[in-house]
Homo-oligomer: A and B are copies of this chain.
Amino acid sequence: MPISEIRRPPVMEDVAKLAGVSHQTVSRVLNAHPNVSPLTRERVEKAIAELGYRRNTAARSLVTRQSQTIGVLGSDMSHYGPANTLLGVQQAARDKGYFVSVASLGEVTPTAIKDGLEYFMMQSVDGIVVIVPHEAMFESLSTISMAIPLVAVGFGVDERLSVAAVNQRMGASLAVQHLVDLGHTAIAHVAGPPDWIDAAARVDGWRRTLAQAGLDDSMLIQGDWSAESGYRAGLELAAAGRATALFAANDQMALGALRAFSEAGLRVPQDVSLVGYDDQPEAAYLVPPLTTVNQGFQELGARCMQMLLFDMANGHSGASSVVNPRLVVRSSTAAPNAGR
Which residue numbers of A lie inside 8 Å of B, CB to CB? 9, 54-59, 61-62, 67, 69, 77-78, 83-84, 87, 90-91, 94, 99-104, 106, 118-119, 121-124, 147, 226-228, 230-231, 252, 255-256, 258-259, 262, 281-282, 284-287, 289
List 8 extra interface pairs beyond A87-B104, A99-B123, CB under 8 A.
A9-B147, A56-B124, A90-B102, A94-B103, A94-B104, A227-B285, A228-B281, A231-B285
Known: A99-B119, A123-B57, A124-B57. A90 touches B67 (CB 8 A): no
Oligomer: number of copies: 2
Contact of A286 among B83, B119, B121, B259 (CB under 8 A): B259
User: Whole-angstrom distance between the alpha carbons of A54 and B117 in the complex?
Assistant: 12
Is B99 a contact partner of A100 (Cβ separation < 8 A)? no
Q: Nearest chain-B residue to A60 (Cβ)?
A: B58
Is B90 a contact partner of A285 (Cβ separation < 8 A)? no
User: Whole-angstrom distance between the alpha carbons of A67 and B99 in the complex?
Assistant: 14
What chain B residues lie within 8 Å of A99 (beta carbons)?
Answer: 101, 103, 119, 123
Known: A100-B101, A101-B100, A118-B54. A281 touches B259 (CB 8 A): no
Is A54 a contact partner of B121 (Cβ separation < 8 A)? yes
What chain B residues lie within 8 Å of A230 (beta carbons)?
Answer: 285
Is B282 a contact partner of A227 (Cβ separation < 8 A)? yes
